[in-house]
Amino acid sequence: MTDSRIDIRRLTKTYQRGGETVHVLDELDLGMEGGTFYALMGPSGSGKTTLLNMLGGLDVPDSGDVLVGDENLSQLSGNELAQWRSQNVGFVFQGFNLLPVLTARENVELPLLLTPLSKKERRAQAERALALVGLTDRMDHKPRELSGGQEQRVAIARAIATDPALILADEPTGDLDRTTANSILELLQRLNRELKKTILMVTHDPEAAGYADKVIHLDKGKLGRIEDNRKPAGAR
Ligand code: ADP
Ligand code: MG
């Protein structure tokens, strides 16, 4: 990804449910700068996860375009999309989604299996990612031997293992207590500021959204206001 700007143009997505058409995203237009930490807020069912999945190439729109950097995702085939995703996007979920039978290091190595790296290089890269999230001393532990906060750190290490430009996080602190949540949010903020990752984080929590540079509001598939947390209060 040479330029990591994101442009969403007239994005429409519907689902069929019990003979009814549910309009989840309705001709949504949204531009996002690369290297910025965004929070995405909105009521349950407003289409946040759907939007995240389209940006990450996990789901395809009915119509409209999703441009990430120099790639128009709408023009990629299924295989091309999977390839693009494995190199450019890291996902973080509310429930961590770690494989329980693998150690922290093996979980982080998983996305690297899709790269041409050797076994030794995969191991070194996974260890680098785990060091970045502060878990060097827990690498050989399985998820059940870790706290929720540590599990989410492993998941974040897995998300950055391939060094993607874009991190998509769906309520990453939803299952964590306040203190643990804040340490995860500080980590995401550090990945944005120090490694220049573009981050889009879905959250219900205004305090979590306060860690982002900008807050995008979504309601019933339509874009609401975008707040800029970086502007001084008097300038809003
Ligand atoms: P949010 O993440 O904001 O809570 P979602 O994007 O998950 O919202 O869902 C938006 C709407 O789309 C909801 O009404 C949901 O029930 C519906 N929906 C999401 N995924 C599917 C699916 N695979 N099939 C049918 N309906 C879906
Ligand atoms: Mg959701």
Cβ neighbors of 47 (< 8 A, separation 6 or more) are 13, 24, 25, 218, 220, 221
Find the 123 Cα to ligand 2 centroid distance in Å: 33
Does the Cβ of 225 fall within 6 Å of ligand 1? no
Find the 183 Cα to ligand 1 centroid distance in Å: 29
* Mutation to probe ligand 1, out of 15, 51, 54, 220 (largest number of atoms < 8 A from CB): 15
User: pTM here?
Assistant: 0.94
Q: Whose CA is nearest to atom 26 of ligand 1?
A: 15
Find the 189 Cα to ligand 2 centroid distance in Å: 21
Find the 233 Cα to ligand 1 centroid distance in Å: 35
Class of residue 225 by CB neighbours under 10 A (exposed 0-12, middle 13-18, buried 19+): exposed
Tens of pLDDT along the chain (236 residues) come to 446 799 999 999 999 988 999 999 999 999 999 999 999 999 999 999 999 999 999 999 999 999 999 899 999 999 999 999 999 999 999 999 999 999 999 999 999 998 899 999 999 999 999 999 999 999 999 999 999 999 999 999 999 999 999 999 999 999 999 999 999 999 999 999 999 999 999 999 999 999 999 999 999 888 999 999 988 766 55
Nearest ligand to residue 45 Cα: 1
- Domains belonging to the chain, first-starting first, are 6-228 (3.40.50.300)
Nearest ligand to residue 169 Cα: 2
